Structure 1
Amino acid sequence: MNIYKFGQFVCRVFFKTFFRVTVVSKHNVPESGPVLLCSNHISNLDPPLVGAFLPRHMAFLAKGELFSFKPFGVLLHALGAVPIKRGGGDRQALKAGLGVLKENQGLVMFPEGTRSKTGELGEGLAGAGFFATRSDATVVPCAVVGKYRPFAKIKVIYGRPIPMDDLREGKSSSSEATERIMAHIAHVKANGDTPYIEERE
């Protein structure tokens, strides 16, 4: 068992011990090829929860400061975290995330960029759309539903892949792509793993 699998095991034990976790439709996440998994963000526990129950290795973007203590930095690297420096980190984050996808790996990101204090879905940042339109990754919406209270019910739902070909072929903006991703996350959060029907005028 490698360190990533061991980390997943520890996280699964933690979540199953302290919360009543339900995992819905993880089969929607391809087990191979580039995958961009986009989720809502309500807690610092979201990244390990979202990644713990998937059968594949997933990478995460993380603040560079977390890697300053070398033993912990080595562990984070082993667990799939990609360090991003503060300041001019946007360009670095985009380059690092795109590199993960071009290597046919999985990348987890939270398009809101910060945790929601109310639990309501906020506005998505353009980075998610950038990764979606600049790569061939399968884009999967995800929603964490519930509250991280001891022994409370919490659900992680992996939605159906989002169609992106029209946006890629039409060279749509990153913001347009992010809007679609956020609409699908909102649908998964409200309706679970049901087909998304885009409203058209």
Structure 2
Amino acid sequence: MKKEHRLGHFHMFWYTVLRYIVIGLYHLYFNITFEGTENIPKDGGNIFASNHRSYQDPVFIALPTRVPLSYMAKEELFHQNVFFTLLIKAFGAFPVTRGKGDTQVIDTSIEKLEKGRNLVIFPEGTRSKDGKVGKGKTGVALVAAVAQVPVVPVGINFEGKLKFRKRVVVRFGKPIVPCEIGVTATDPHSLRTIKNEIMKNITELVH
């Protein structure tokens, strides 16, 4: 995939305005800090692979990121009510059916990347209740291997449940470039290689 597409200036202007408003609100509500922000690419067309702690995770990742995000969300979230469905779609969410080989999700992911958006994937597939990082699934590895784009590992850290003034630390690791770790194909060995590298880096950021 070539990074030839960029989001329009109008789109970026309003996204930037909205992002700074949300940053202010989140700093008021949470005691939140960001580490490793120098590892965040300034352009779009990148994957952010993170552990999954709460429904706030996509926002936590988006706050220090200049380019709008798209993210996979479980299909059930799109059947709750019309307003909520329109809201999460407006913020870049698209449905994925868990436990099934949904090839459309891969196509949609590539499409989002090609349009210049960043893509958030939670490799564990579900939220962790105890904060420990799970094994992860190969979906993120498949998208990364097909698109050949950098994967930025993210570790979201907090203890207990999210509440007012809860301390939250979001850490961004160095981008993982598939071809630099020898992954140029989508065979099972290559997918395991990149998945294991991604999950290892995420785990190191969660402490």
Please report the TM-score for the alignment, with normalisation by the length of structure 1.
0.81
* Structure 1 residue ranges without an equivalent (≥5): 191-201
1:98, 1:178 → 2: CA distance?
A: 18
Corresponding residue for 1:198?
none
* Structure 2 residue ranges without an equivalent (≥5): 1-12
Which shows bigger deviation, 144-153 or 174-183? 144-153
- Aligned counterpart for 1:126 among listed residues 138, 141, 148: 138
- Residue identity (%): 29
Describe the superposition over 1:105-163 as per-residue Cα deviations: whole angstroms up to 9, x where unpaired.
21011100001111111111010111111112111000011132321211011111114
Describe the superposition over 1:31-83 as per-residue Cα deviations: whole angstroms up to 9, x where unpaired.
21410000111112111111123111111112344345444333322211123
Does the aligned pair in 1 maintain the 2:141–2:194 contact within 8 Å? yes
Corresponding residue for 2:184?
169
Question: Does residue 1:104 correspond to 2:121, yes or no?
Answer: no
Amino acid at match of 2:145: T
Amino acid at match of 1:56: V
Does the aligned pair in 1 maintain the 2:148–2:184 contact within 8 Å? no
The number of residues matched between the two structures is 189
Q: How much has 1:170 moved relative to structure 2?
A: 6.1
The 5 A counterparts of 1:1-201 are 2=14, 4-5=15-16, 8-68=19-79, 69-85=81-97, 88=100, 90-147=102-159, 148-165=162-179, 166-169=181-184, 172-190=189-207
1:8, 1:65 → 2: CA distance?
A: 27
Does the aligned pair in 2 maintain the 1:7–1:79 contact within 8 Å? no
1:34, 1:115 → 2: CA distance?
A: 25
Amino acid at match of 2:126: T
1:63, 1:10 → 2: CA distance?
A: 27
1:53, 1:183 → 2: CA distance?
A: 23
2:85, 2:164 → 1: CA distance?
A: 29
Aligned to 1:116, the other structure's residue is in SS state coil
Amino acid at match of 1:77: K
| CA distance 1:9–1:97, shift in 2 (3 Å) | same
